[in-house]
Amino acid sequence: MEWILPAILAAVLVFFITKRFITPKYLTPLSQEDFIKGYRKAQLIDVREQREYEGGHILGARNIPLTQLRTRMKEIRTDQPVYLYCQSGARSKQAATVLKKKRGCEELYHLKGGFKKWSGRINKKK
């Protein structure tokens, strides 16, 4: 009987770890090349914090940090594709889950590897 609680805790831990790293079926990961092909015809959302965004962001991106997404999600249209990115890809996956479940967005894409892998043009706040 003493093994039940540790087994449950281990199962919960494994569930949350795998959930963080597995891309949901409704989110399409894109290489930088594919991301560039489509983001100009979509809503481009940087879900990093404002200080990260100001340090450099993809041209044309709007900054809606993941920490503010639930209160600002009405700024995102549901009838247009949504291209998301963050520093590494983890927060953009979380943002996609929120937008799918709470806002009903259908066309969700994210930059594979995140902004740290981006080699395209960027804009920096001066």
Q: What is the pLDDT along the chain (126 residues), one digit of tens a residue?
A: 688 887 888 777 876 666 666 677 899 999 999 999 999 999 999 999 999 999 999 999 999 999 999 999 999 999 999 999 999 999 999 999 999 999 999 999 999 999 999 999 898 876
- What pTM, to 2 d.p., does this model score? 0.83
Q: Within 10 Å of residue 11's Cβ, how many Cβ atoms?
A: 10
Which tokens is 93 given? Answer: 């996956």
Q: Within 10 Å of residue 98's Cβ, how many Cβ atoms?
A: 15
* Pairing mode of beta strands 82-85, 108-111: parallel
Q: What is the amino acid identity at position 120?
A: G
